[in-house]
Amino acid sequence: MAKALSNNLVNLLVLALLPISILMHAFWLPGSISIPAISDAGYMSVITLTFLACVFVALLTLIFNNNLASSKFTAIASAYVVLIYFLREADIHRLLTIEHVTRPKFYSMESVPLWQKAFAAAVFVLLAICLLYLLIKYIRVIWKNLREFESWAVALLLWFVVLFISQLCDKSGLNHTHVGRVIEENSECWAAIFLFLVVIQLIPTLTLRNSQTSSANLLVE
């Protein structure tokens, strides 16, 4: 247990900062500071997008890394998912319509051109394919490493938990309260941070695995 705690020290420290940030923006800071901070263009959103952009760039480096050829398709699928994640957090869909492109109403609106509906549908069909591929191929690996308290797997679990909390706030009556908005925006921000930690903590294990494979091949030769 002590080893698990030491391996996940960064994850735990980042997690501990979440309730502090929520309390700070909900109760300690004046409204003139906290309200703009959690707005769509506030610094919480900027931090969220910055970390997601860093995740995307890190995945791009894996795609163009010839030493990780076996993981290239996984990196491509992951990069696509993160790209859509980034665009969703940046509210890029609002450039097309005020209605969210994931809602059925978008595809029944007469004011929306057919090409926009087709493009949006294609984007989300490909997203579903990438998510299913990643889930089916790596669910056992994730579960195994989570049971062993590997830091990247724990960070992945924390990403899912805080993102789920943000979506609960967004879809509930809490979204109409200041505290609810604070919890939602902070959770979205911390989700991006945890996703960044997943990639940063996972890349060294991929490099190590590749080095071990190369060494084994040299011994065989």
| 3-state per-residue secondary structure call for the chain | CHHHHHHCHHHHHHHHHHHHHHHHHHHHCCHHHHHHHCCCCCHHHHHHHHHHHHHHHHHHHHHCCHHHHHHHHHHHHHHHHHHHHHHHHCCHHHHCCCCCCCCHHHHHCCCCCHHHHHHHHHHHHHHHHHHHHHHHHHHHHHHHHHHCCCHHHHHHHHHHHHHHHHHHHHHCHHHHCHHHHHHHHHHHHHHHHHHHHHHHHHHHHHHHHHHHHHHHHHHHC
CA distance 49 to 44: 9
Asked if residue 163 is part of any domain, the answer here is yes
184 in any annotated domain: yes
- 60 falls within a domain: yes
The pLDDT value recorded for residue 171 is 87
Predicted local distance difference test score (pLDDT) of residue 68 = 67
Number of domains in the chain: 1
| Cα(34)–Cα(44) distance, integer angstroms | 10
The domain of 143 spans 9-212
How far, in Å, CA of 116 to CA of 104, rounded? 14
Residue 151 lies in a domain: yes
Q: Which two tokens stand for residue 214?
A: 């190369």
Q: Which residues have a Cβ under 8 Å from the Cβ of 190 and sit 6 or more positions away?
A: 14, 15, 17, 18, 21, 162
The model's pTM is 0.88
Low-confidence ranges of the chain (pLDDT < 50): 213-221
Is 141 within the bounds of a domain?
yes
Cβ proximity of 78 and 94 under 8 Å? no
Which class for 201: exposed (0-12), middle (13-18), buried (19 or more C-beta within 10 A)?
A: buried
User: Is 180 part of a structural domain of the chain?
Assistant: yes
Instruction: Note the pLDDT of residue 200.
Output: 93
Is position 1 within any domain?
A: no
At 167, give phi and psi (nearest 5°). -70, -35
pLDDT computed for residue 218 by the predictor:
34
In a domain, 98, yes or no: yes
Q: What pLDDT sits at residue 216?
A: 39
